[in-house]
Amino acid sequence: MTFIYALLLAIAFVPFNLAAPELGKINSRVTGGNLAEPGDFPFLVAPQLNGKQWCGATLLNAYTVLTAGHCSINIPPENVTVRAGSMYWQSGGTIANITEIKIHPSYRPTVGQYDVAVWHLGMPIQPSDTISYAKLVAQGYDPPVGLSATTAGWGNTAENQTVEGSDKLRWVNVPIVSRQDCSAYGQITSNEICAGGEEGKGSCPNDSGGPIWNAETREVMGTVHSGGGCGLRGVPILYTNLGTMGDWVRQNIWSA
């Protein structure tokens, strides 16, 4: 048991898609979550790569989607679509193709910092009863320790799940964890946020790129970056901090 736990801590901060099984073998889901209802989280979109569920993403405006850099590197835009306005990644809502992918220029897969990207939609996604655009936190914002945050995603409910579960969106509330406590599992900088660590609750592989937001104001403050706990007690999940990278995102939003 001690060896297994130490191994989990050692991989805790590997970017999710680098540690995850081959695409198509496992579809991810927030573990320990609640089933969402139509319109609950209208800014979430479900990306698909070659028709398979792929990461998570946030709708910023009619032409722009926010996700993780490691969900975007070496991915041909023409192979990606996003579905908005549906609780199901396989059906319903509005589908748009991707025409361009921009990854933060300082992102390096081997380092993991600046793990953020934006995608250009080939057709506008307009607001509706189940679709709206996310609001980002202000540049310089840093969430206080203990703040209640919400994250959501599609897919499996456990790290080692080998069969597909329901394709309906799930969400969970998780607390912000101090960088000092989080640094016990790996190097943490101001470009990252730690959250979770409660048993049975958290993001899992391929939830990468999906948002984490202030549960009260609903402002998006990060994107899922890495983790290995997938609801393991005491092992938090790492998120890219939009309080330090929000300006880059805003400067790269498309208007048409």
Q: Hey, CA dihedral for 17, 23, 24, 25, is it positive or negative?
A: negative
Span 45-55, pLDDT tens digits: 999 999 998 99
Beta bridge partners of 255: none
Closest by CA position to 89, among listed 194, 207, 185, 239: 207
Instruction: Select which of 70, 104, 120, 225 is catalytic.
Output: 70
Q: What is the pLDDT of residue 230?
A: 55
Residues 211 and 3: their CA atoms lie apart, in Å, by 32
State yes or no: is 166 an active-site residue.
Answer: no
Span 176-205, pLDDT tens digits: 999 999 888 778 999 999 998 754 455 555
State yes or no: is 225 an active-site residue.
Answer: no
pLDDT for residue 24 is more than 50:
no
Instruction: Select which of 28, 86, 203, 208 is catalytic.
Output: 208
Q: What is the pLDDT of residue 155?
A: 57
pLDDT for residue 252 is more than 50:
yes
Contact 204, 157 (CB under 8 A): yes
Q: Where are the domains of the chain?
A: 7-35+135-244, 44-133+245-251
pLDDT for residue 165 is more than 60:
no
Q: What is the pLDDT of residue 5?
A: 28
Contact 30, 202 (CB under 8 A): yes
Q: What is the pLDDT of residue 215?
A: 94
Contact 59, 128 (CB under 8 A): no
Q: How confident is the model at residue 241 (pLDDT cuts 50, 70, 90)?
A: very high
Percent with pLDDT over 90 in the chain: 63
User: 7-35+135-244 belongs to which CATH class?
Assistant: mainly beta
CATH H-level, domain 44-133+245-251: superfamily: Trypsin-like serine proteases (2.40.10.10)
CATH topology identical between 7-35+135-244 and 44-133+245-251: yes
Q: What is the pLDDT of residue 2?
A: 27
Q: How confident is the model at residue 15 (pLDDT cuts 50, 70, 90)?
A: low
Instruction: Select which of 72, 115, 225, 226 is catalytic.
Output: 115
State yes or no: is 70 an active-site residue.
Answer: yes
Q: What is the mean pLDDT of the chain?
A: 82
Q: What is the pTM for the complete model shown? A: 0.83
pLDDT for residue 231 is more than 80:
no
